[in-house]
Structure 1
Amino acid sequence: MLKLLASYFTTATCSWVIAFLIPLYIYEQTGSPVWTSSAYLVAIAPYILVTPFAGAWSDRFSKRLLLVGGDLLSLVTGLVLYAALQLLSGLLLCSVLLLLTFLLTSVRATHHPAFQSIAPSIIEKGRLHTFNAVVNASDNMIRIAAPLGVAAALTLTSKDQLLILAVLGFAISLPLCYQLEERHKPQPTSRPILREISTGFSYVIENKQLRALVTLFFFCNFGFALIGASLVYLYTSILAVPSTQLGYYYGLIGCGAVAGSLLGAMLAKRCQAGALIRHSCLLAGLFTLAGAFTQTPWSLSAFWALSTCCQSVVVIAFFTYRQQTVPQAILGRTVGVTRLIAYLAIPPASLLSGWLLLHFSSSALVLASGGICITLASLLAYSGSVATQPSLEP
């Protein structure tokens, strides 16, 4: 388990640093907010376009080799990216950076189903809740520490040097993944890839519990994305927070998410999956809704931190439930399909969030809209088939 976690932490940190630097390079070349924001759209696209295929690949091929191949491809792509920065400039460089961003993010989109579906073949069922809690806590700690670390590093070194360090970090993960001992290797198949993906969709649709959970998550993610997409704007433009102080508020929010990781590890082992997920989603919605009545950045951060705490509990509970109940032979495709549906909520929510702020300039409206969406979806889930979810206990 330690090798898998160490590999994940290394690649997640490297990927985050690279994703942080690329928009800076693009803005430096163009000075255009349109070109700069396009880096975000390009980074999101693979999670919608590639994820279904990634799930099928992880069921068809060795998950260990997929992780190794992903690290190797990220390393090579990162080196090409560094070379492009030395040789190109202007719009040609920006176009190449966007193309390489899509490729790097496609590797991350492929990594998730393979990573999630290899865990049950390496880790005992009774320890999966701990594994998922550590993964979730790592994600949140990276989100807290990485911006501060990058900002500090850029005072001591250049973007190019920081980039090459991040790229070479993938070489650390390579041997860790190669040494993993994968059990339950997939059997070779000649079935068309689209049929494999269709099987994954059919499994999720025909499984009442999974279908109910995925429906709940879609609408909850829509509500969360309404706020998350414009959170920086809410702080800086509406609540008048100086950009130099944003890190404090994001730090508080991140602490809530980390606390949720620790809490989720305990609750996922003791509570019924469906009940824990419903209760946590409902609490997340209510805390989000309460944020609509706040007038200071600290109170907004406190309520959003409580919401992200509940969100972390949901992530751990669902990941563990999925790993323990879905057959290993179709787990990768199930991860891919459920992740795809969750990400489909983000683009329309982001556009709606921007539209609401453009026309009403109200943080209360955005927070209330997100909170109501999450709360209503959670309440509706109480009358659905999620109520019959089995326990997370093996």
Structure 2
Amino acid sequence: MLLGSEAVSLSGSAVSTLALPALAVLELHASTTEVAVLAFLGQLPNAFALWAGALSDRHPKRPQLIASDLAAAGALVTIPAAAVAGALTVGQLCVVAIVLGAAKVVHDAAAISLLPALVQPARLHDANAKLGAASAVADSAGTNAGAALVSAVGPAHSVLADAVSFLASAAFVWRMRIPETTTAARTRTGLARDIADGLRYVTRQPTIRTVIAALSTLSFGLAVMNTYWAYYLLDRLSVSPSAFGVIMGIGGAGGVAGALLAPRIAARIGIGPTIIVGFAVSPLAQVPLLCAGPGPRWQIVLAVTLAVQLFWATASGTSQRSLRQTLCDPAFQGRMQSASTTLTAGARPPAAVTAGGLVLLLDVRATLAVGALLQVVPVVLLLASPIRAMRKIPARAVVPPAHEGATS
């Protein structure tokens, strides 16, 4: 049920990802500043991921999943309603973007931390692999469907598909019947205390701490590159929009394969090496990009390289997520996941600012090179940790409750 819920909501969200900016630009004639504000407000709720994680640990997760899906669906329905009435504004789109972002933060914190309660520890890696593959397929299918819907019925009415997807997701979750324990709720502490306890727990678990640090530094380096990645391909390398789509499609196929094969790869070479190889391939995969020139041969090289990069990125991603979920105390699952979300998502805005500053001092290619070099840092962090010798996911380490450690 969780797999169906995640797949259907992701496919619908991919439609809105295309439809909202298209609606702002094509029908409401938003300025560049308004478009930037719309994008910023959509990401703003990520700053409150720690609160979402604390709520996830404090209360049962199923009601949170259902409530977030219904809130997102309700916000989306207002767009075609306002469009029909001739009252749609950029301001309303901004409010909808905030609601969607907040719903996503709450949903993700509850969904990711719920998975360990649904499956046995021995099957957790396989479950994460299936979720990763389904998410990649759903996102790709949703993007293609979104482009078709925007062209066929217009961006305002195409968001109804996303609203329906959230309702379907809520229905899937409603049918789940699982026992849930909410240890954090029994302590009767304040939400701020729950967050502080969660952060202390994460910092005191060395493997979880190292993986999250590696994820956040990788996110920063990738975000530096992603700021100008599409621009570099389309402008400097003269890649056509259709060829760009083909490159992205081939890369996405690599991601699906990596998610499906992650458990087999980890069983063959070990969970630690799988994680480290995934991180190490990322900076290496940027070398062909930095050496590339215009022409179809280079486009083929870039497509293959992106497929390899995403193959190992998803294999590594499902492996490190399974490792963190297994090691983490059930009472801290939501807060552990939200700490990771806060640091990885929080690294992207300053990385974009850094990229903007670098491009003024250097050029686009040199800025991309800096982003690639920054991606070496998380590899060093992982190689310097016990993760490099880890062949199987170990049993959960016993870590005293954070509030007890704080008072000793």
Do the two structures share a fold, i.e. TM-score over 0.5? yes
> How many equivalent residue pairs?
388
Write the letter of the residue equivalent to 1:322: R
Q: Which residue of 2 aligns with 1:352?
A: 354
Say yes or no: does 1:63 pair with 2:61. Answer: yes
- 8 Å CA contact 1:219–1:377 kept in 2: the answer is yes
Cα deviation 1:104-161 (Å, max 9, x = unaligned): 1111111112111111111122222122112222232234333322222334333233
Say yes or no: does 1:126 pair with 2:125. Answer: no
Quote how far apart the aligned CAs of 1:95 are: 1.3
Correspondence for 2:84 among 78, 83, 86: 86
Quote how far apart the aligned CAs of 1:21 are: 0.8
Correspondence for 1:52 among 45, 50, 67: 50
Map residues 188-207 of structure 1 onto 2, 5 A cutoff: 188-189=185-186, 190-207=188-205
Calculate the TM-score normalised by the size of structure 2.
0.88
Correspondence for 1:243 among 241, 244, 252: 241
Cα deviation 1:282-339 (Å, max 9, x = unaligned): 1222122343222233323322332222211121011111221111111111111112
Quote how far apart the aligned CAs of 1:382 are: 1.2
Write the letter of the residue equivalent to 1:275: P
Q: Which residue of 1 aligns with 2:18?
A: 20
- 8 Å CA contact 1:14–1:170 kept in 2: the answer is yes
Cα deviation 1:86-105 (Å, max 9, x = unaligned): 34557xx1112111101111
Write the letter of the residue equivalent to 1:103: V
Write the letter of the residue equivalent to 1:123: V
Structure 1 residue matching 2:161: 3-state secondary structure: helix
- 8 Å CA contact 1:56–1:193 kept in 2: the answer is yes
Correspondence for 1:176 among 164, 172, 184: 172
Q: Which residue of 2 aligns with 1:164?
A: 160
Structure 2 residue matching 1:202: 3-state secondary structure: helix
Say yes or no: does 1:309 pair with 2:305. Answer: no
Q: Which residue of 2 aligns with 1:323?
A: 325
Hey, what's the Cα distance between the residues in 2 that align with 1:256 and 1:359?
35
Q: Which residue of 2 aligns with 1:263?
A: 261
- 8 Å CA contact 1:6–1:173 kept in 2: the answer is yes
Quote how far apart the aligned CAs of 1:194 are: 0.7
Q: Which residue of 2 aligns with 1:39?
A: 38
Quote how far apart the aligned CAs of 1:270 are: 4.9
Structure 2 residue matching 1:30: 3-state secondary structure: coil
Write the letter of the residue equivalent to 1:43: G
Q: Which residue of 1 aligns with 2:402?
A: none
Hey, what's the Cα distance between the residues in 2 that align with 1:221 and 1:135?
21
Structure 1 residue matching 2:152: 3-state secondary structure: coil
Say which is worse superposed, 14-23 or 293-302, in terms of deviation: 293-302
Calculate the TM-score normalised by the size of structure 1.
0.91
Hey, what's the Cα distance between the residues in 2 that align with 1:355 and 1:148?
34
Unaligned 5+ residue runs, structure 1?
none
Unaligned 5+ residue runs, structure 2?
396-408
- 8 Å CA contact 2:13–2:142 kept in 1: the answer is no
Write the letter of the residue equivalent to 1:316: T
Q: Which residue of 2 aligns with 1:333?
A: 335
Q: Which residue of 1 aligns with 2:216?
A: 218
Hey, what's the Cα distance between the residues in 1 that align with 2:306 and 2:243?
17
Q: Which residue of 2 aligns with 1:284?
A: 282
Say which is worse superposed, 211-220 or 380-389, in terms of deviation: 380-389
Hey, what's the Cα distance between the residues in 1 that align with 2:24 and 2:219?
29
Q: Which residue of 2 aligns with 1:299?
A: 301
Quote how far apart the aligned CAs of 1:192 are: 0.6
- 8 Å CA contact 1:54–1:110 kept in 2: the answer is yes
Map residues 71-150 of structure 1 onto 2, 5 A cutoff: 71-87=69-85, 89=87, 93-150=89-146
Structure 2 residue matching 1:185: 3-state secondary structure: coil
